[in-house]
């Protein structure tokens, strides 16, 4: 009898343990009272965490991690791309925004392109190259929030560029997809296809040219890039391919501190950066969603997914109609983000039928993301990108990095707010985010072109509406758009139940089912600081090769 009782207790105990351990997400959230760096590559996370251990701030760690990512994920980002930053200062409680996106060269005009027989904006090539803003963004952010010496921040990236690193699986796949673009130029082939092909998984890849460029920046600061040897190499490379970039286009560029925009979502304040980025679409989508209560069937139920997909279409229709460089065009941000306007747009959602092209309303007048939090609670939410894989495909001669193709997002329609113009910044897809309520402060972002605003909104809803912690909210099944157009074509992960997928199809959604975890949903990171307890939390997306790496202890 006693044995049966013990057996029964054991079975009950095992059942309880199994219940507690049963969960719908894969990774555990990382928790520590020290700092954490979360990126899409483990070497970058590790390098940033070690900078924290040396007394660096969250900003120091973010710059270091970003520099390493430019070496280890060269198709996604690097010094040839742009950068956006949100930085929360724990001591003052103030959130700062930095727009380090570059402008079009002075001589790159609609008339010039048409004189070359170009009628629509090309997707890659030298005419899509705008001034890279990342290095100036690093410099301005370090001047304001850095603790360690500038030169120290680039040593890990220089090491990996010079000595090499093993290519991981997801990066290998993205690299291989971009092979045709790299094969178009001699320098692209020489630097990034060293044996006439993409490096294999686990194969060591070295880039001594980019090590040289990083050393110049470490030694000479941002001027090495905009006025010095790197600038001269950029101008020379541009000239070889018939580009319009001139020395003054680089020398006169400066990134800009901007005021973040925000909205209230069920008691949480959600922040994004203002145009020329697309953050306002995430906020408008959340505003439209807030017109409805969260559905009891859960975040992957038919009702909830239909609502979110339709809210996304409405927000994106407005985004593509109005977003542009606010220095050139009046962007009605206040009207687009008003609660009254959101309620008006929400009435366009038919609960039984998908609207494939809702059109814009009339309001009142390849990428990498990383997050870092230090032991003091300062948070860097940073995103940086070349746009598409290896950007323009033009690799700067002797410097080992590709120039971005952000100019591809301009239009050649002179009447559109986003029309190409000299010294104008194009519509930008990359957006960092931040949210807070009371003692809880979260830096987060999910990369991936047009995917980003809708991915931000899904993350926020998972966390706020359905009580997930940041790792579960990041891992949860997502949907996304198939391209830059508003339509009923929607990609969705196969973890969404088949009956829900069929019910959504019955409403008119053309769902394209991908595998359980697809990089097409973007690769996200998140950090959370509790200012009452001093505890930090971090999450890293399983859709990438990265980790959330806690700050190590100093070993004597």
- Residues with catalytic function: 367
For the chain, the C-alpha Rg in angstroms (whole number) is 23
CA 268 centroid distance within chain: 21
Helix, strand, or coil here: 41? strand
Instruction: Tell which residue, 451, 454, 479, 428, has the closest CA to residue 282.
Output: 454
Inter-residue contact 36 to 351 (CB < 8 Å): no
Query: 252-257 contacts: CB < 8 A, separation 24 or more?
Result: 253/102, 253/103, 253/131, 253/133, 253/136, 253/226, 254/136, 255/83, 255/98, 255/99, 255/100, 255/101, 255/133, 255/136, 255/137, 255/140, 256/98, 256/99, 256/100, 257/96, 257/97, 257/98, 257/99, 257/140
CA distance 181 to 392: 8
Q: Cβ–Cβ contacts within 10 Å for residue 38, how many?
A: 34
Contact residues for 375 (Cβ-Cβ < 8 A; gap 6+): 33, 34, 35, 52, 536, 551
CB-neighbour burial class of residue 400 (10 A; exposed 0-12, middle 13-18, buried 19+): buried
CA distances from 294 to 221, 271, 289, 339 (A): 49, 21, 8, 17
Q: Are 233 and 403 in contact (CB under 8 A)?
A: no
DSSP-derived secondary structure for 268-279: EEEEEPPTTBSH
Burial class (CB in 10 A: 0-12, 13-18, 19+), 111: exposed
Three-state DSSP class for residue 262: strand
Sequential DSSP letters for 295-326: PTT-TTSHHHHHHHHHHHHHHHHHHHHH-S-T
User: Rounded CA gap, 541 and 523, in Å?
Assistant: 6
Question: How many CA atoms, within 13 angstroms, populate the side-chain half-sphere of residue 523?
Answer: 25
At 265, which helix (H) or strand (E)? strand 261-265
**Are 222 and 139 in contact, with CB atoms under 8 Å apart?**
yes
Q: Is the dihedral of CA 80, 84, 88, 89 positive or negative?
A: positive
Contact 386, 540 (CB under 8 A): no
Strand order through the sheet with 510-514: 479-481, 489-493, 510-514
Local structure of residue 520 (DSSP, 8 states): G
């Amino acid at each position: 009898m006693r044995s049966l009782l013990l057996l029964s207790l054991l079975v009950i105990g095992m059942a309880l343990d199994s219940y507690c351990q049963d969960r719908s997400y894969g990774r555990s959230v990382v928790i520590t009272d020290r700092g954490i760096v979360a990126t899409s590559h483990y070497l970058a996370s590790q390098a940033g965490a070690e900078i924290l251990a040396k007394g660096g701030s969250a900003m120091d760690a973010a710059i270091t991690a970003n520099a390493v990512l430019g070496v280890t994920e060269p198709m996604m980002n690097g010094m040839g791309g742009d950068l956006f930053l949100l930085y929360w200062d724990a001591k003052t409680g103030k959130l700062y925004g930095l727009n380090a996106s570059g402008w079009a060269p002075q001589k790159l005009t609609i008339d010039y392109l048409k004189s070359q027989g170009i009628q629509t904006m090309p997707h890659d090539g030298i005419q899509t190259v705008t001034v890279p803003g990342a290095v100036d963004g690093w410099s301005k952010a370090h001047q304001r929030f850095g603790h360690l010496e500038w030169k120290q921040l680039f040593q890990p990236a220089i090491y990996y560029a010079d000595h090499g690193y093993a290519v991981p699986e997801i990066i290998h796949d993205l690299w291989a997809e971009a092979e045709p673009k790299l094969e178009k130029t001699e320098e692209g082939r020489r630097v990034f296809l060293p044996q006439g092909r993409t490096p294999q998984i686990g194969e060591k890849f070295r880039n001594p040219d980019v090590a040289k460029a990083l050393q110049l920046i470490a030694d000479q600061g941002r001027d090495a890039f905009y006025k010095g040897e790197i600038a001269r190499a950029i101008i020379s490379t541009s000239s070889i391919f018939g580009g319009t970039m001139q020395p003054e286009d680089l020398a006169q560029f400066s990134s800009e501190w901007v005021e973040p925009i925000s909205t209230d979502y069920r008691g949480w304040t959600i922040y994004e950066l203002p145009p020329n980025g697309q953050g306002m679409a995430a906020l408008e989508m959340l505003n439209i969603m807030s017109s409805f209560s969260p559905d009891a069937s859960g975040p992957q139920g038919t009702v909830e997914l239909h609502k979110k997909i339709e809210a996304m279409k409405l927000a994106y229709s407005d985004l593509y109609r109005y977003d542009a460089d606010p220095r050139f065009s009046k962007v009605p941000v206040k009207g687009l983000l008003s609660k009254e306007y959101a309620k008006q747009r929400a009435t366009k959602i038919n609960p039984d039928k998908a609207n494939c092209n809702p059109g814009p309303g009339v309001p009142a007048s390849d990428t990498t993301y990383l997050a870092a939090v230090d032991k003091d609670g300062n948070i860097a939410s940073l995103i940086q990108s070349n746009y598409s894989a290896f950007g323009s495909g033009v690799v700067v001669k002797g410097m080992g990095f590709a120039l971005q193709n952000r100019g591809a997002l301009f239009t050649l329609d002179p009447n559109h707010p986003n029309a190409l113009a000299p010294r104008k910044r194009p519509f930008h897809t990359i957006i960092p985010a931040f949210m807070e309520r009371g003692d809880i402060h979260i830096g987060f972002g999910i990369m991936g072109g047009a995917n980003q605003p809708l991915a931000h909104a899904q993350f926020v809803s998972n966390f706020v509406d359905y009580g997930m912690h940041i790792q579960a909210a990041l891992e949860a099944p997502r949907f996304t758009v198939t391209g830059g157009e508003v339509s009923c074509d929607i990609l969705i992960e196969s973890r969404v139940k088949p009956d829900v997928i069929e019910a959504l199809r019955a409403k008119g959604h053309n769902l394209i089912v991908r595998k359980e975890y697809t990089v097409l949903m973007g690769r996200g990171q998140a950090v959370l600081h509790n200012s009452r307890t001093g505890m930090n939390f971090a999450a890293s997306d399983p859709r990438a090769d990265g980790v959330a790496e806690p700050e190590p202890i100093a070993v004597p």
